[in-house]
Amino acid sequence: MSQANNSRFPAWSPKALLRNRAFLTVAIVILVWIVAGFAKPGFGSYGHLRYLLELAAVIGLVAIGQTYVVIAGGIDLSVGAIVTVSAVGVPLVALSGDGGGAFAVLIILAAATSIGFLNGLGVAYLRIHPMIMTLAMATFLQGVLILIAGGTAISAQNPLLAWLGNARIIGIPAGVLLWAVVSGAALAVLHATPFGARLYALGANPLASALSGINVQATTMAVYAVSGLTAGLAGVLILGMNGQGYVGIGDPYLLASIAAVVLGGTSILGGSGSYAGTIPGAILLVTITALITVVNASAGWRSILFGSLILLLLLLSGRESQRR
Amino acid sequence: MSSLTRTGDDRLYWRAQGERNRGLMGLFAVVAAFLALYAYLFPGLLSVAGVSKFAQSWLPLALVAMAQAILMLTGGISLAIGATVSLGAVIAATTMSGYFGVAGGIVAVSASGLAIGALCGVIAIRLRLPAIIVTLAASFIIGGLALLILPRPGGAIPGWFSDLLAGNTPAALGLVFLVALLWKLYLATPLGLSLYAAGENPVGAYRAGVPVDAARIAAYAISGLLSTLAGLFIAAQTGSGDPVIGQAFTLNSIAAAVLGGVGFLGGRGTMRGAIAGSLLLSVMINVMFFLGFPPVAQYVAQGLIIIGAVALPQLTARFRRRP
């Protein structure tokens, strides 16, 4: 029993810390912030860092579901479309008797969760490869959204969202607080519940998990539903920060969420990693983007820099060690 | 292959081909049905000009579908296809009107495609990084290069070259057949033979002495070449280069390959399937246009068709297994 405990909570040592990907990513973020703070006046100011965290909160929320799905051995290419569904959908379902705006938000979150659930249904029961299922879902949603919402931006008159996007509690933006709370819950579910343990088992070896009595279908559907829910939350937050939603608003968050997951050390093959690494991964991603914007370069050079930095960071942190 | 002395081999070859065709019959039937519907709606299709125009709208998609399929057969994937198409288009538009002319432009486009594809392959295979992330990062780098070469749409393609490829000649259809023929020849080379083995069972193939890494890197290089050539054709079609023209091709190439029955795990699928998949997508878009659907309805249909095409064989197989 004591041995099992030891393997789960290894004794603290500097070496173990260096091998911990989540810690490594945090260290890289801090290093980049310190260097950039000295090199560029204003970068290290509280206001700027707080702004970076607000941007990271959206990516971080989308990346919760993406981390879950990737750990369970899948991938979700529909998160960008679901973010758009929720950012465009909240103004569309606005009801007259809904003064606080909470009802519209709840409806949309339920809709986002059911879209994720449908993804899970296709993956679990129709046995469609996750990449195909979620890609087809994204294509489908994109068409439906343009048919319903058209090409114009839709403004939201929703007090709850306005508060979420602009309020500061003790100087901390509400969006960042939301991210912190949801992250805490996500980490707890991942590391301290049977559901979290099933995700790792499913990602490591689906056949063995099925044979050892895990309900693979139910777990798969649940994990995609979680992904839909967190993408929906992110869409609500963007709408609050932006004031209006339009078709395509969520597109950048698909690749950003995958990049954050991988930069945080979660294996794209499934079965290992943690959301604890994805959090600094998301912050690292927005920091890189901000640094590139600070460097006064043309659009082409900015794009090249961004791609090269992701490759470089991948070499440092996301290397797949155990193949062949 | 002489039929007198090696009849046994021949029979095995055709049996293997038949086995590969088995899952594709449904797809071929659907493609034929859509083509018939298209010809019924638009009788002008059944003329040299009609066939030429249709083949021209189909060729870029067919090329990127093949570019994606060759990677998926080896167990890889590329999210950089769209950016590579754009790069091919801008290189064509900037070099062809220059000193080296059309021939120089074709060489530049082909060489850059091969080089970029091979580089992606070396990074993904040799450094053991996940292909999906490497090509995602590469799509930013390649897209940036395209923007550096041509920050806004411009450049020029000589008029006679545009007329040759995208005028009233069925040249595009001929190119599809030519590329399909070259693919058959490639499959007969040692690297081509290793392709399916490397995708189906990399460890087993490696232990059996198959050059797994070389086959995979070659697949990336060929994929890059096909993508930039698709860009070259688009540039010839539009008469100029556009640094972001290829974006939609990344997802469409995956969709076409998947419709064609190419699997994500490697070793499963055929190139003729991928070409048929791209043909289906292309015909579908044209038919929906003729039926008066809004252009975006094609996304809805595309999503449903992909899910249906992948789910149906699974479902029928399960019902057959459970008597």
| Residue A33 resides in a domain | no
Is A304 in the B-facing interface, judged by CB distances under 8 Å?
yes
Which residue range forms the structural domain that includes residue A227? 43-313
Please indicate whether, in this complex, the C-beta atoms of B137 and A324 are within 8 angstroms of each other. Answer: no
Contact A314, B135 (CB under 8 A): no
What is B108-138 written as a DSSP string?
HHHHHHHHHHHHHHHHHHHTT--HHHHHHHH
Determine, for residues B130 and A269 on separate chains, whether the beta-carbon distance falls below 8 Å. Answer: yes
Using the Cβ of B137 and the Cβ atoms of chain A, whether some distance falls under 8 Å is answered with yes
Chain B residues in contact with A127 (beta carbon < 8 A): 311, 314
Sign of CA dihedral A204, A205, A211, A213: positive
Give A-chain residues touching B302 at CB under 8 angstroms.
136, 139-140, 143
Of B136, B144, B254, the CB nearest to A135: B254
Q: Quickly count: other Cβ atoms within 10 Å of residue B293's Cβ.
A: 14
Sign of CA dihedral A295, A300, A306, A309: negative
Rounded-to-integer distance, Cα B240 and Cα B113, Å = 19
Angle at A199 between CA B267 and CA A278, to 5 degrees: 90
pLDDT exceeds 70 at position B321: no
Note whether B264 contacts A146, CB cutoff 8 Å.
no
Query: Given CB atoms, is B315 within the 8 Å cutoff of chain A?
Result: yes
Chain A interface mutation, best of B119, B136, B213, highest count of A Cβ atoms under 10 Å: B136
Chain A interface mutation, best of B141, B149, B206, highest count of A Cβ atoms under 10 Å: B141
Residue A319 lies in a domain: no
Strand partners, A173: A168
pLDDT for residue A323 is more than 50: no
Q: From A217, A195, A214, A213, select the one nearest A124 (Cα to Cα).
A: A217
- CA-nearest residue of chain B to A316? B129
Separation of alpha carbons A299 and B147, rounded Å = 7
Domain for residue A275, yes or no?
A: yes
A151 touches chain B (CB under 8 A): no
Residue B154 pairs in a beta bridge with: B241
Which of A311, A319, A321 to probe the B interface (max B CBs under 10 A)? A311
Alpha carbon distance A41, A191 (integer Å): 40
Asked if A303's CB is within 8 angstroms of B132's CB, the reply is no
Rounded mean pLDDT, A234-262: 86
CB distance B241 to B92 below 8 Å: yes
Res. A2 pLDDT band, cuts 50 70 90: very low
User: B282 to chain A nearest CA, in Å?
Assistant: 16
Distance between CA atoms of residues A220 and A72, nearest Å: 8
Contact status of A147 with chain B (Cβ, < 8 Å):
yes
Contact residues on chain A for B268, CB-CB shorter than 8 A:
none
Q: Which residues of A touch B144 (CB under 8 A)?
A: 299-307
Over residues B233-240, the mean pLDDT reads: 87
Give contacts of B151 with chain A, Cβ < 8 Å.
Answer: 298-300
φ/ψ of residue A224, rounded to 5: -70, -35
Q: Is residue A22 part of a domain?
A: no
In a domain, A286, yes or no: yes
Are residues B136 and A258, on separate chains, in Cβ contact within 8 Å?
A: yes
pLDDT in tens, B160-213: 888 888 777 788 888 889 999 999 898 888 888 888 888 888 888 888 888 888
**CATH number for the domain that contains residue A107:** 1.10.3470
Residue in A136, A82, A87, A138 with CA at minimum distance from that of residue A113: A82
Note whether A103 and A159 are within 8 A (CB): no
**Alpha helix stretches (DSSP H) within chain A:** 2-8, 14-19, 21-39, 46-71, 79-92, 102-124, 130-149, 159-166, 174-192, 194-204, 206-211, 216-242, 251-263, 275-294, 299-317
Average pLDDT of the residues of chain B = 84
Q: Does the beta carbon of B304 lie under 8 angstroms from any beta carbon of chain A?
A: yes
Q: What is the DSSP letter of A76?
A: -
ipTM, two decimals: 0.79
Instruction: Give the pLDDT of residue A113.
Output: 94
Over 80: is that where the pLDDT of B4 sits? no
Mutate to test the interface with B, among A289, A303, A306, A324 (most CBs of B within 10 A): A303
- pLDDT score for B229: 93
Encode A109-134 in three state secondary structure: HHHHHHHHHHHHHHHHCCCCCHHHHH
Residue B132 touches chain A, beta carbons under 8 Å: yes
pLDDT at A319: 52
The pLDDT of residue A1: 40
Token digits of residue B221: 């290089």
- By Cβ distance, the residue of A131, A311, A324 closest to B264 is A131
How many CB pairs below 8 A link A and B? 150
Is A309 among the domain residues? Answer: yes
Q: If you write DSSP's letter for every residue of B7-74 in order, what string do you get?
A: HHHHHHHHHHHHHHHHTTHHHHHHHHHHHHHHHHH-GGGSSHHHHHHHHHHHHHHHHHHHHHHHHHHT
DSSP assignment, residue A94?
-
Interface touch A136/B298, C-beta < 8 Å: no
pLDDT at A17 over 80: no
User: Between residues B242 and B222, which one has the greater pLDDT?
Assistant: B222
Token duo for residue B74 = 């080896």
With a cut of 50, say whether residue B261 has pLDDT above it: yes
Is A2 inside any structural domain?
A: no
Structural domain contains residue A32: no
Q: Do B299 and A146 touch (CB under 8 A)?
A: yes
Please tell me the distance from the alpha carbon of residue B314 to that of residue B196, in angstroms, as a whole number: 22
State the total domains in chain A.
1
Asked if A143 is an interface residue toward chain B (Cβ–Cβ < 8 A), one would say: yes
Q: What is the pLDDT of residue B61?
A: 92
Query: What is the average per-residue pLDDT within B103-131?
Result: 90
Q: Decide which of A259 and B68 is more confident.
A: B68
Chain A residues closer than 8 Å to B294 by CB: 147
pLDDT at A3 over 50: no
- Closest to B20 (Cα-Cα) out of B256, B276, B287, B306: B276
Residues from chain B that touch A126, judged by Cβ atoms under 8 A, are 307, 310-311, 314-315
